């Protein structure tokens, strides 16, 4: 039984104080092959998932956007082109190696004038109350130790009328798809990680962390408990991924 001093790291139980460090170690290990592995393990479909998330974001010119768990900056890069010179995109990640890689990628794409960078823990956002128009977190919420605390921090930072967008792995909606997904996740994915990223353990953690993440309805309820209204979600690829939205009024 899990006590108040422990939490899950994949299927393992670890001390609350240790999870952040363990998550950082995972992404330190995979940072150099992160983009390649995303393409391989999703067969390139992650680009369509992220494009749909952008469509649902409501971001416009002049907006201030906070992109949490930015990774190599797929979402942040697109947001920066939308908000224009009058807007700002805050590119953040808890992992320094991922943040540096994302910054290099943004600079390579010529995006520099309307972006800022910060190493940030989603549970304790260092931004003023009601200062952000849109907060996005793509494939990062499942790695957060205290998701409720993080959601409350996001709610505080959003301005009235702002929205939260959570793009995350979720639960397949049919039994046959779930069975096939299990075979892929615990069979092929770790082997692919070992072959391409030379890190089987981190990609086994990825599969386990997805299984430990709240399902679609549970996450929706967590968002509502944090204060968000008009919460909804959209299943993609049969529920393998879901986009959750919540609004602050």
Residue 3's pLDDT is 56
Angstrom distance (rounded) from CA 11 to CA 14: 10
Q: Could you give the angle at which helices 216-225 and 147-157 cross, rounded to 10 degrees? A: 50
pTM of the model: 0.93
For 6-173+205-247, the fitting CATH number among 3.30.310.40, 3.40.50.2300, 3.40.50.150, 3.40.50.300 is 3.40.50.150
Backbone torsions φ then ψ of 206, nearest 5 degrees: -55, -50
Strand partners, 246: 164
Q: Is 156 exposed, middle or buried (0-12, 13-18, 19+ CB in 10 A)?
A: middle
Domain boundaries, the chain: 6-173+205-247
pLDDT (tens place) for every residue of the chain, 249 residues total? 445 688 988 898 889 878 888 887 888 888 888 888 888 899 999 999 999 999 999 999 999 999 999 999 999 999 999 999 999 999 999 999 999 999 999 999 999 999 999 999 999 999 999 999 999 999 999 999 999 999 999 999 999 999 999 999 999 999 999 999 999 999 999 999 899 888 999 999 999 999 999 999 999 999 999 999 999 999 999 999 999 999 999
Distance of CA 172 to the CA centre of its chain: 18
- List 118's β-bridge partners, or say none: 92
Are the beta carbons of 239 and 172 closer than 8 angstroms? yes
Output the six-digit token pair for 233: 């979600």
């Amino acid at each position: 039984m899990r006590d108040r001093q422990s939490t899950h790291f994949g299927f393992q139980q670890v001390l609350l104080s240790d999870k952040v460090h363990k998550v950082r170690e995972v992404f330190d290990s995979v940072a150099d092959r992160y983009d390649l592995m995303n393409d391989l393990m999703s067969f390139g479909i992650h680009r369509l998932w992220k494009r749909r998330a952008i469509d649902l974001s409501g971001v416009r010119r002049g907006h201030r956007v906070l992109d949490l768990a930015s990774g190599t900056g797929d979402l942040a890069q697109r947001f920066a082109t939308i908000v224009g010179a009058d807007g700002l995109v805050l590119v953040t990640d808890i992992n320094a190696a991922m943040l540096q890689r994302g910054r290099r990628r943004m600079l390579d794409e010529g995006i520099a004038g309307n972006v800022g960078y910060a190493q940030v823990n989603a549970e304790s956002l260092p931004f003023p109350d009601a200062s952000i128009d849109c907060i996005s977190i793509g494939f990062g919420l499942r790695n957060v130790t205290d998701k409720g605390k993080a959601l409350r921090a996001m709610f505080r930072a959003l301005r009235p009328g702002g929205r939260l967008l959570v793009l995350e792995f979720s639960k397949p909606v049919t039994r046959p798809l779930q069975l096939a997904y299990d075979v892929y996740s615990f069979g092929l994915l770790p082997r692919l990680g070992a072959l391409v990223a030379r890190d089987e353990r981190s990609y086994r953690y990825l599969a386990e962390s997805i299984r430990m993440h709240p399902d679609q309805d549970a996450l929706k309820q967590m968002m509502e408990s944090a204060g968000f209204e008009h919460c909804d979600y959209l299943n993609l690829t049969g529920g393998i991924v879901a986009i959750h939205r919540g609004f602050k009024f």
